[in-house]
A and B are shown apart, each in its own frame.
Chain A
Amino acid sequence: GQNIDQPTEMTATEGAIVQINCTYQTSGFNGLFWYQQHAGEAPTFLSYNVLDGLEEKGRFSSFLSRSKGYSYLLLKELQMKDSASYLCAALDSNYQLIWGAGTKLIIKP
Protein backbone atom coordinates (compact mmCIF):
# COMPACT_ATOMS: atom_id res chain seq x y z
CA GLY A 1 0.00 0.00 0.00
CA GLN A 2 0.90 3.65 -0.16
CA ASN A 3 2.10 5.34 2.98
CA ILE A 4 3.58 8.60 4.24
CA ASP A 5 5.24 8.75 7.67
CA GLN A 6 6.15 11.90 9.55
CA PRO A 7 6.42 12.65 13.27
CA THR A 8 3.21 13.71 14.97
CA GLU A 9 4.66 16.60 16.93
CA MET A 10 7.95 18.45 17.41
CA THR A 11 9.02 21.27 19.70
CA ALA A 12 11.75 23.81 19.00
CA THR A 13 13.00 27.11 20.35
CA GLU A 14 12.63 30.51 18.71
CA GLY A 15 15.74 31.34 16.69
CA ALA A 16 16.85 27.71 16.40
CA ILE A 17 16.81 25.24 13.50
CA VAL A 18 14.43 22.30 13.13
CA GLN A 19 14.31 19.42 10.64
CA ILE A 20 11.01 17.64 9.94
CA ASN A 21 11.45 14.24 8.32
CA CYS A 22 9.12 12.41 5.96
CA THR A 23 9.39 8.91 4.52
CA TYR A 24 7.17 7.71 1.72
CA GLN A 25 6.15 4.50 -0.02
CA THR A 26 4.14 5.05 -3.18
CA SER A 27 3.27 3.29 -6.41
CA GLY A 28 5.61 5.26 -8.62
CA PHE A 29 6.83 8.72 -7.74
CA ASN A 30 6.41 12.10 -9.39
CA GLY A 31 7.56 14.43 -6.67
CA LEU A 32 7.25 15.46 -3.03
CA PHE A 33 5.37 18.49 -1.69
CA TRP A 34 5.55 20.30 1.64
CA TYR A 35 2.68 22.46 2.85
CA GLN A 36 2.26 24.62 5.94
CA GLN A 37 -1.08 24.68 7.74
CA HIS A 38 -1.83 27.05 10.60
CA ALA A 39 -4.54 25.94 13.02
CA GLY A 40 -7.99 26.37 11.54
CA GLU A 41 -6.66 27.47 8.16
CA ALA A 42 -6.09 25.91 4.76
CA PRO A 43 -2.69 24.44 3.77
CA THR A 44 -0.35 26.74 1.86
CA PHE A 45 2.33 25.53 -0.54
CA LEU A 46 5.95 25.61 0.65
CA SER A 47 8.04 23.48 -1.71
CA TYR A 48 8.16 20.81 -4.40
CA ASN A 49 11.07 18.42 -5.02
CA VAL A 50 11.30 15.89 -7.82
CA LEU A 51 15.10 15.57 -8.17
CA ASP A 52 17.51 14.49 -5.46
CA GLY A 53 19.07 17.26 -3.47
CA LEU A 54 18.36 20.38 -1.52
CA GLU A 55 16.10 23.25 -2.59
CA GLU A 56 16.46 26.46 -0.60
CA LYS A 57 13.84 29.19 -0.27
CA GLY A 58 14.82 31.78 2.28
CA ARG A 59 14.59 30.34 5.79
CA PHE A 60 13.02 27.12 4.48
CA SER A 61 14.82 24.32 2.63
CA SER A 62 13.57 20.95 1.42
CA PHE A 63 15.64 17.87 0.68
CA LEU A 64 14.80 14.74 -1.30
CA SER A 65 16.44 11.32 -1.66
CA ARG A 66 14.46 9.22 -4.15
CA SER A 67 16.54 6.09 -3.54
CA LYS A 68 15.74 6.22 0.18
CA GLY A 69 12.14 7.39 -0.13
CA TYR A 70 13.00 10.24 2.21
CA SER A 71 12.53 13.96 2.44
CA TYR A 72 13.00 16.61 5.07
CA LEU A 73 11.95 20.20 5.58
CA LEU A 74 14.53 22.40 7.29
CA LEU A 75 13.41 25.60 9.01
CA LYS A 76 16.08 28.07 10.12
CA GLU A 77 15.92 31.09 12.41
CA LEU A 78 12.61 29.92 13.79
CA GLN A 79 9.96 32.52 14.48
CA MET A 80 6.82 32.19 16.61
CA LYS A 81 4.73 32.47 13.44
CA ASP A 82 6.29 29.18 12.23
CA SER A 83 4.15 27.33 14.79
CA ALA A 84 1.93 25.27 12.50
CA SER A 85 1.43 21.80 11.09
CA TYR A 86 3.69 20.78 8.21
CA LEU A 87 2.20 18.35 5.71
CA CYS A 88 4.27 16.07 3.50
CA ALA A 89 2.61 14.72 0.33
CA ALA A 90 3.98 12.44 -2.41
CA LEU A 91 2.70 12.35 -5.98
CA ASP A 92 2.27 8.77 -7.18
CA SER A 93 2.40 7.30 -10.70
CA ASN A 94 -1.26 8.29 -11.30
CA TYR A 95 -0.47 11.87 -10.29
CA GLN A 96 -2.51 11.49 -7.13
CA LEU A 97 -1.25 13.16 -3.98
CA ILE A 98 -0.73 10.83 -1.01
CA TRP A 99 -0.82 12.93 2.18
CA GLY A 100 0.88 12.43 5.50
CA ALA A 101 -1.01 13.23 8.70
CA GLY A 102 1.18 16.27 9.33
CA THR A 103 3.75 17.28 11.93
CA LYS A 104 2.61 19.82 14.50
CA LEU A 105 5.53 22.16 15.21
CA ILE A 106 5.46 24.05 18.51
CA ILE A 107 7.83 27.00 18.86
CA LYS A 108 8.75 28.10 22.38
CA PRO A 109 10.25 31.51 23.26
Chain B
Amino acid sequence: SQTIHQWPATLVQPVGSPLSLECTVEGTSNPNLYWYRQAAGRGLQLLFYSVGIGQISSEVPQNLSASRPQDRQFILSSKKLLLSDSGFYLCAWSTLPTSTDTQYFGPGTRLTVL
Protein backbone atom coordinates (compact mmCIF):
# COMPACT_ATOMS: atom_id res chain seq x y z
CA SER B 1 0.00 0.00 0.00
CA GLN B 2 1.00 3.59 -0.54
CA THR B 3 2.16 5.84 2.27
CA ILE B 4 3.26 9.45 2.36
CA HIS B 5 5.62 10.95 4.92
CA GLN B 6 6.32 14.53 5.83
CA TRP B 7 8.77 15.99 8.28
CA PRO B 8 9.13 17.74 10.52
CA ALA B 9 5.67 17.66 12.08
CA THR B 10 6.06 21.09 13.67
CA LEU B 11 8.58 23.85 13.18
CA VAL B 12 9.15 27.26 14.76
CA GLN B 13 11.49 29.50 12.80
CA PRO B 14 12.55 33.16 13.06
CA VAL B 15 11.80 35.62 10.28
CA GLY B 16 14.59 35.61 7.70
CA SER B 17 15.73 32.06 8.38
CA PRO B 18 15.80 29.35 5.68
CA LEU B 19 13.30 26.51 5.36
CA SER B 20 13.38 22.97 4.08
CA LEU B 21 10.37 20.65 4.31
CA GLU B 22 10.56 17.15 2.93
CA CYS B 23 7.91 14.80 1.58
CA THR B 24 8.40 11.21 0.44
CA VAL B 25 5.96 8.70 -1.00
CA GLU B 26 6.26 4.92 -0.80
CA GLY B 27 4.49 2.19 -2.70
CA THR B 28 3.90 3.95 -6.03
CA SER B 29 5.95 5.04 -9.04
CA ASN B 30 5.92 8.37 -10.88
CA PRO B 31 3.27 9.99 -8.70
CA ASN B 32 2.01 13.52 -9.18
CA LEU B 33 3.16 15.48 -6.14
CA TYR B 34 1.68 18.63 -4.65
CA TRP B 35 2.54 21.20 -1.98
CA TYR B 36 -0.35 23.07 -0.36
CA ARG B 37 -0.52 25.68 2.39
CA GLN B 38 -3.51 26.10 4.67
CA ALA B 39 -3.77 29.25 6.77
CA ALA B 40 -5.79 29.03 9.99
CA GLY B 41 -9.50 28.65 9.18
CA ARG B 42 -8.87 28.88 5.45
CA GLY B 43 -9.02 26.57 2.46
CA LEU B 44 -6.11 24.86 0.77
CA GLN B 45 -3.83 26.97 -1.43
CA LEU B 46 -1.88 25.04 -4.07
CA LEU B 47 1.75 26.19 -4.06
CA PHE B 48 3.55 23.77 -6.41
CA TYR B 49 2.89 20.56 -8.28
CA SER B 50 5.14 18.15 -10.09
CA VAL B 51 4.42 15.45 -12.68
CA GLY B 52 7.97 14.08 -12.74
CA ILE B 53 11.60 14.46 -11.62
CA GLY B 54 12.78 18.02 -12.11
CA GLN B 55 9.36 19.17 -13.37
CA ILE B 56 7.87 21.83 -11.10
CA SER B 57 4.90 24.09 -11.76
CA SER B 58 4.41 27.10 -9.52
CA GLU B 59 0.92 28.32 -8.83
CA VAL B 60 1.61 31.31 -6.64
CA PRO B 61 4.63 33.64 -6.97
CA GLN B 62 6.30 34.03 -3.59
CA ASN B 63 9.52 33.46 -1.71
CA LEU B 64 9.07 29.67 -1.70
CA SER B 65 10.53 27.16 -4.13
CA ALA B 66 10.15 23.43 -4.69
CA SER B 67 12.36 20.69 -6.03
CA ARG B 68 11.93 17.05 -6.96
CA PRO B 69 15.34 15.43 -6.91
CA GLN B 70 13.97 11.87 -6.95
CA ASP B 71 10.78 10.27 -8.24
CA ARG B 72 9.16 10.01 -4.83
CA GLN B 73 10.73 12.97 -3.05
CA PHE B 74 9.39 16.51 -3.02
CA ILE B 75 11.07 19.36 -1.14
CA LEU B 76 9.71 22.80 -0.25
CA SER B 77 12.29 25.49 0.48
CA SER B 78 12.76 29.12 1.28
CA LYS B 79 15.90 31.21 1.60
CA LYS B 80 14.29 33.78 3.91
CA LEU B 81 11.02 33.16 5.73
CA LEU B 82 8.38 35.85 6.14
CA LEU B 83 5.77 36.12 8.90
CA SER B 84 3.12 35.42 6.26
CA ASP B 85 4.70 32.01 5.56
CA SER B 86 3.21 30.65 8.78
CA GLY B 87 0.65 27.92 8.17
CA PHE B 88 -0.04 24.23 7.79
CA TYR B 89 1.94 22.77 4.88
CA LEU B 90 0.55 19.66 3.26
CA CYS B 91 2.10 17.38 0.69
CA ALA B 92 -0.17 15.23 -1.45
CA TRP B 93 0.15 12.64 -4.20
CA SER B 94 -2.01 11.24 -6.98
CA THR B 95 -1.31 8.69 -9.69
CA LEU B 96 -2.65 9.90 -13.05
CA PRO B 97 -0.95 12.57 -15.18
CA THR B 98 -4.16 14.44 -15.95
CA SER B 99 -5.71 13.43 -12.79
CA THR B 100 -9.24 12.71 -11.92
CA ASP B 101 -7.56 10.44 -9.45
CA THR B 102 -7.86 11.22 -5.79
CA GLN B 103 -5.18 13.23 -4.00
CA TYR B 104 -3.94 11.69 -0.76
CA PHE B 105 -2.36 13.88 1.87
CA GLY B 106 0.59 13.50 4.17
CA PRO B 107 0.30 14.36 7.88
CA GLY B 108 1.41 17.96 7.35
CA THR B 109 3.95 20.33 8.87
CA ARG B 110 2.78 23.15 11.09
CA LEU B 111 5.14 26.10 10.55
CA THR B 112 5.19 29.12 12.83
CA VAL B 113 7.36 32.05 11.80
CA LEU B 114 8.13 34.47 14.65
Bits for A86-103, please: 1 = Cβ < 8 Å to B, else 0: 010101000111011110
Bits for A23-52, please: 1 = Cβ < 8 Å to B, else 0: 000000011010000001111110010100
The answer to whether A95 touches B98 (Cβ under 8 A) is yes
The answer to whether B105 touches A44 (Cβ under 8 A) is yes
Bits for B97-112, please: 1 = Cβ < 8 Å to A, else 0: 0111011111110100
Question: Given A100-B43, A101-B43 in contact, is the A42-B99 Cβ separation under 8 Å?
Answer: no
How many pairs, one residue from A and one from B, have CB atoms within 8 Å of each other in the complex?
43
List which B23-47 residues lie within 8 A (CB) of chain A. 41-46
List which A41-93 residues lie within 8 A (CB) of chain B. 41-45, 48, 50, 87, 89, 91
Please name the residue on chain A nearest to B107 by beta carbon.
Answer: A42
Q: Which of B45, B100, B104 contacts A45 (CB 8 A)?
A: B104
Chain A interface residue count, Cβ-Cβ cutoff 8 angstroms: 22
Please name the residue on chain B nearest to A101 by beta carbon.
Answer: B43
- Chain B contact residues: over half helix, strand or loop, or mixed? loop
- Chain A contact residues: over half helix, strand or loop, or mixed? loop
Which interface residue of B98, B102, B104, B107 has the most chain A CB atoms within 10 A? B102
The answer to whether B100 touches A50 (Cβ under 8 A) is yes
The answer to whether A102 touches B43 (Cβ under 8 A) is yes
Please name the residue on chain B nearest to A50 by beta carbon.
Answer: B100
**A99 cross-chain contacts in B, Cβ below 8 A:** 43-46
- Tell me whether B66 is interfacial, beta carbon within 8 Å: no
- 14 A-B residue pairs with Cβ-Cβ distance under 8 Å, sorted by A, are A40-B110, A41-B107, A42-B90, A42-B106, A42-B107, A43-B90, A43-B105, A45-B104, A50-B100, A95-B98, A95-B99, A99-B46, A100-B43, A101-B42
**Apart from the given pairs A33-B103, A87-B43, A96-B46, 11 other A-B contacts in the complex at a CB distance below 8 Å:** A33-B102, A41-B108, A42-B106, A42-B107, A42-B108, A43-B90, A45-B102, A48-B102, A50-B100, A95-B98, A99-B46
